[in-house]
């Protein structure tokens, strides 16, 4: 049965990093989907937040000479500010240091224990604090973690283990049957491949880390930060009014697939909870052809970009540039180019010239009963249906292509029909042509709303008042 409730999440970001364009990518995608569902009248809830426990955060706080709590409190506003600058309208912002969340984490672990899935064992391994993860010898490059370029630390301690190996078959079945959908298909195969190699039990507590949620029945340990973080999706349903478990969609980057497609569902199976309906892992992008990194200093700042080009242009450009499930490249130049061509020349100019002509030729235009985006084409498919289908499949660039095909066609229509000549030769035809273009723009206006809410608002006003103003003014370098 189709449900009108939607619950969409992003990863909760490590609070010690400044919000960069990578975090913005997932968050913008979630925001677009949320706005899309809301526009359709669905009851959609979009959750984001910050991941604030663990060794990485505690170490960063210590370097600053601050208590971890004070440190995280000072950083959370940076994320909220970035989301505001990008016109992100989340419905809930969760922090793992929220007391209620901490309690729910402890209860969750207690349930895992009661179900017989936790066991205390001695453990020795190499730990990368950057990844907040144990790392095996053969993953190392020159003795260092390939992601963080740092030597891992040797850990030898007693930890509580989650008996993941026991859940292998059930997990496999849930993924194979799409009861728990892992997408895109390539990611599903990757996960099934890992399961087929055999899953080992994983440590879910830390002895040396004080900065974390209480581990039930053992004061010497805290809950492993990743387990703590994953539970946010579930605890949010008890903290906020609105979201109902299970989540419909966890949007993540492919870097954290292991945790979301293996550890998380296995924990839920163990306590007999429902599984999220879908995890979708998008690709990673490089910046101007290079891996984004702090040391290269090439991380582009989403706040600065949206100040310069406007939130809408950033939202549009990064979702348009390459398909959501694939890797791709982004750069300020690419955003600037999209601003100038697609947005300025195609869309902005189309609205401007249409309204100018409507005024000049004193044409009567107004809303019609059926929009052209709702008129079936020769195959019986409407533009809105094609757009909806793309977005429901998380094909953001595909949905945008549908919209920009219309603007291209309409601009071409103007060139072909030459209203300035019709004005002299055929006034009836002029009214028909311009009327069609005008009401097609009403449709375009609806379709761009989830992606470009501010532009949609401005455009709507212009279509009503018939007073054109540049939607994407030229930016002086």
Q: Which two tokens stand for residue 310?
A: 């406007």
Whether 145 sits among the annotated catalytic residues: the reply is: yes
What is the number of alpha carbons within 13 Å of residue 323 lying toward its C-beta?
8
- Least distance (Å) between residue 13 CB and ligand MSP: 4
Active-site pick, 20, 244, 277, 340: 20
- Least distance (Å) between residue 303 CB and ligand MSP: 16
- Least distance (Å) between residue 255 CB and ligand MSP: 5
Q: Which is nearer to ligand MSP, 216 or 253 (CB)?
A: 253
- Least distance (Å) between residue 229 CB and ligand MSP: 4
CA distances in angstroms from 59 to 1, 71, 129, 288, 432, listed in the order given: 48, 11, 9, 32, 68
Contact assessment for residue 143 and residue 159, using Cβ atoms and an 8 Å cutoff: no
At residue 225, φ and ψ (nearest 5 deg) are -55, -35
Contact assessment for residue 242 and residue 44, using Cβ atoms and an 8 Å cutoff: no
The correct pick among 14, 46, 224, 309 for binding ligand MSP (CB under 6 A) is 14
Q: Is 284 in the site for ligand MSP (CB under 6 A)?
A: yes
Q: Is 22 in the site for ligand MSP (CB under 6 A)?
A: yes
Q: Which two tokens stand for residue 208?
A: 């040396």
Q: How far apart are CA 24 and CA 90, in angstroms?
A: 13
Q: How far apart are CA 350 and CA 408, in angstroms?
A: 9
The correct pick among 6, 23, 95, 188 for binding ligand MSP (CB under 6 A) is 23
Q: How far apart are CA 16 and CA 14, in angstroms?
A: 6
The mark string for 400-429 relative to ligand MSP (x by CB under 6 A, - otherwise) is ------------------------------
Cα of 418 vs its chain's centroid, Å? 42
Q: Single out the segment in contact with ligand MSP by CB under 6 A; choices: 23-31, 187-195, 441-449, 454-462.
A: 23-31
Q: Is 329 in the site for ligand MSP (CB under 6 A)?
A: no
- Least distance (Å) between residue 413 CB and ligand MSP: 38
Whether 282 sits among the annotated catalytic residues: the reply is: no
Helix (H, G, I), strand (E, B) or coil at 43: strand
Whether 23 sits among the annotated catalytic residues: the reply is: yes
The contacts of residue 238 (CB under 8 Å, 6+ apart) are 100, 104
Contact assessment for residue 265 and residue 275, using Cβ atoms and an 8 Å cutoff: yes
Kindly state the number of chain residues that form the binding site for ligand MSP, as judged by CB under 6 A: 20
The correct pick among 224, 285, 404, 451 for binding ligand MSP (CB under 6 A) is 285
Q: Is 26 in the site for ligand MSP (CB under 6 A)?
A: yes
Active-site pick, 69, 70, 170, 291: 291
- Least distance (Å) between residue 355 CB and ligand MSP: 38
| Other CB atoms within 10 Å distance of the CB of residue 206 | 25
CA distances in angstroms from 76 to 18, 23, 70, listed in the order given: 10, 14, 11
Q: How far apart are CA 334 and CA 332, in angstroms?
A: 5
DSSP one-letter code for 10: E
The correct pick among 25, 280, 396, 451 for binding ligand MSP (CB under 6 A) is 25
Any bridge partners for residue 253, and if so which? 282
- Least distance (Å) between residue 403 CB and ligand MSP: 23
Helix (H, G, I), strand (E, B) or coil at 1: coil
Q: Which is nearer to ligand MSP, 258 or 284 (CB)?
A: 284
Instruction: Give CA angle at 278 (272, 280), nearest 5°.
Output: 140
Whether 148 sits among the annotated catalytic residues: the reply is: yes
- Least distance (Å) between residue 77 CB and ligand MSP: 16
Largest distance between two CA atoms of the chain: 89
* CB-count exposure of residue 154 (10 Å: 0-12, 13-18, 19+): exposed
Question: Binders of ligand MSP among 70-129, rule CB under 6 A?
Answer: none
Question: Binders of ligand MSP among 128-187, rule CB under 6 A?
Answer: none
Q: Is 60 in the site for ligand MSP (CB under 6 A)?
A: no
Whether 291 sits among the annotated catalytic residues: the reply is: yes
Q: Which is nearer to ligand MSP, 222 or 440 (CB)?
A: 222
- Least distance (Å) between residue 15 CB and ligand MSP: 8
Active-site pick, 294, 360, 418, 461: 294
The mark string for 225-264 relative to ligand MSP (x by CB under 6 A, - otherwise) is ----xx-x-------------------xx-xx--------
Q: Is 292 in the site for ligand MSP (CB under 6 A)?
A: yes
Whether 20 sits among the annotated catalytic residues: the reply is: yes
At residue 467, φ and ψ (nearest 5 deg) are -105, 105
Q: How far apart are CA 360 and CA 349, in angstroms?
A: 16
What is the number of alpha carbons within 13 Å of residue 12 lying toward its C-beta?
26
Q: Single out the segment in contact with ligand MSP by CB under 6 A; choices: 14-22, 347-355, 366-374, 438-446.
A: 14-22
The correct pick among 7, 8, 12, 471 for binding ligand MSP (CB under 6 A) is 12
Q: Which is nearer to ligand MSP, 57 or 448 (CB)?
A: 57
Whether 294 sits among the annotated catalytic residues: the reply is: yes
Contacting residues toward ligand MSP, per CB under 6 A = 11-14, 17, 22-23, 25-26, 51, 229-230, 232, 252-253, 255-256, 284-285, 292
Active site (catalytic) residues: 20, 23, 128, 131, 145, 148, 291, 294
């Amino acid at each position: 049965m189709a449900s009108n409730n939607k619950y969409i999440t992003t990863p909760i970001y490590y609070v010690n990093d400044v919000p960069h364009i990578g975090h913005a990518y997932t968050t913008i995608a979630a925001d677009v989907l949320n706005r899309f569902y809301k526009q359709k009248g669905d009851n959609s809830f979009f959750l984001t937040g910050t991941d604030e426990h663990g060794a990485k955060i505690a170490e960063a706080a210590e370097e600053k000479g601050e208590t971890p709590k004070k440190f995280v409190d000072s950083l959370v506003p940076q994320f909220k500010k970035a989301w505001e600058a990008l016109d992100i309208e989340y419905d809930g912002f969760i922090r793992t240091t929220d007391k209620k969340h901490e309690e729910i984490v402890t209860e969750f672990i207690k349930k895992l224990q009661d179900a017989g899935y936790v066991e205390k064992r001695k453990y020795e391994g190499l730990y990368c604090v950057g990844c907040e993860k144990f790392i095996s010898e053969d993953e190392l490059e020159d003795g260092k973690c390939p992601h963080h370029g740092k030597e891992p630390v040797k850990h030898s301690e007693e930890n509580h283990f989650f008996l993941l190996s026991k859940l292998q078959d059930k997990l496999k079945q849930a993924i194979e049957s799409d009861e728990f959908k892992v997408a895109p298909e390539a990611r599903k195969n990757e996960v099934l491949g890992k399961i087929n190699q055999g899953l080992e039990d994983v440590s879910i507590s830390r002895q040396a880390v004080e900065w974390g949620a209480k581990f039930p029945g053992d004061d010497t340990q805290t809950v492993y930060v990743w387990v703590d973080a994953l539970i946010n999706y579930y605890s949010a349903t008890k903290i906020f009014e609105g979201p109902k478990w299970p989540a419909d969609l966890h949007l993540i980057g492919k870097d954290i697939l292991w945790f979301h497609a293996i550890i998380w569902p296995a924990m839920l199976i163990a306590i007999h909870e429902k599984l999220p309906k879908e995890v979708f892992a998008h690709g990673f992008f490089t910046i101007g052809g290079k891996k984004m990194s702090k040391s290269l200093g090439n991380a582009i700042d989403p706040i600065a970009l949206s100040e310069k080009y406007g939130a809408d242009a950033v939202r549009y450009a990064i979702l348009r540039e390459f398909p959501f499930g694939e890797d791709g490249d982004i750069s300020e130049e690419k955003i600037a180019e999209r601003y100038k061509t697609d947005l300025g020349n195609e869309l902005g100019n189309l609205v401007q010239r249409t309204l100018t002509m409507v005024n000049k030729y004193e044409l009567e235009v107004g809303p019609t009963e059926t929009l052209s985006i709702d008129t079936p084409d020769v195959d019986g498919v409407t533009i809105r249906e094609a757009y909806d289908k793309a977005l429901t499949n998380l094909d953001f660039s595909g949905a945008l292509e549908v919209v920009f095909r219309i603007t291209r066609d309409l601009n071409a229509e103007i060139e072909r029909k030459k209203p300035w000549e019709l004005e002299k030769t055929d006034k009836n035809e002029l009214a028909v042509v311009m009327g069609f273009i005008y009401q097609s723009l009403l449709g375009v206006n609806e379709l761009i709303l989830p992606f470009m809410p501010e532009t949609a608002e401005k455009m709507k006003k212009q279509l009503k008042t018939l007073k054109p103003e540049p939607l994407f003014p030229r930016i002086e370098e």
